[in-house]
């Protein structure tokens, strides 16, 4: 059974700056971890990002909503990765905090 991780990260940036930082983070991930991803697709619509990531033979999907004072991240892990949700969530939160620090 799949499992969804939800994370809310406060920020003090403009929404445009947050989108720019997230886009740069995606480009960096594509460059730095290209051999680990079988796919990394993303699509922005205003302040909403949908993404699909292929890793370890599994498909991970999610969405990011950039709000005026926080970012909400929802990631759906397939059943094979769902067991690792409690270990993955703090890592994602730490990366998001680092990305959104002014």
Tell me how far apart the alpha carbons of residues 9 and 95 are, in angstroms, rounded to a whole number: 10
- pLDDT of the residue at 38: 83
- Over the stretch 5-30, which tens digit does the pLDDT of each residue have? 999 999 999 999 999 999 999 999 88
- pLDDT of the residue at 31: 87
Tokens in use for 18? 């947050």
User: What pTM, to 2 d.p., does this model score?
Assistant: 0.90
- pLDDT of the residue at 25: 93
- pLDDT of the residue at 33: 81
CATH number of 3-94: 3.30.310
Tell me how far apart the alpha carbons of residues 73 and 66 are, in angstroms, rounded to a whole number: 9
- pLDDT of the residue at 63: 98
Interacting residues of 24 by C-beta distance below 8 A, sequence separation 6+: none
Provide the residue ranges of all domains of the chain, joining segments of one domain with +.
3-94
Tokens in use for 101? 């620090």
The list of the chain residues with pLDDT below 50 reads: none
Cross-strand partners of 9: 71
Tokens in use for 41? 């697709």
Tell me how far apart the alpha carbons of residues 52 and 50 are, in angstroms, rounded to a whole number: 7
- pLDDT of the residue at 47: 98
């Amino acid at each position: 059974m799949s499992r969804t991780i939800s994370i809310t990260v406060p920020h003090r940036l403009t929404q445009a700056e947050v989108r720019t930082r997230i886009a740069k983070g995606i480009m960096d991930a594509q460059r730095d971890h290209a051999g680990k991803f079988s796919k990394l697709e993303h699509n922005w619509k205003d302040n909403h990002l949908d993404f699909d990531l292929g890793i370890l033979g599994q498909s991970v999907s999610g969405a990011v909503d950039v709000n005026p004072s926080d970012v909400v991240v929802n990631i759906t892990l397939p059943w094979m990765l769902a067991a690792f949700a409690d270990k993955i969530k703090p890592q994602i939160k730490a990366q998001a905090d680092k990305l959104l620090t002014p």
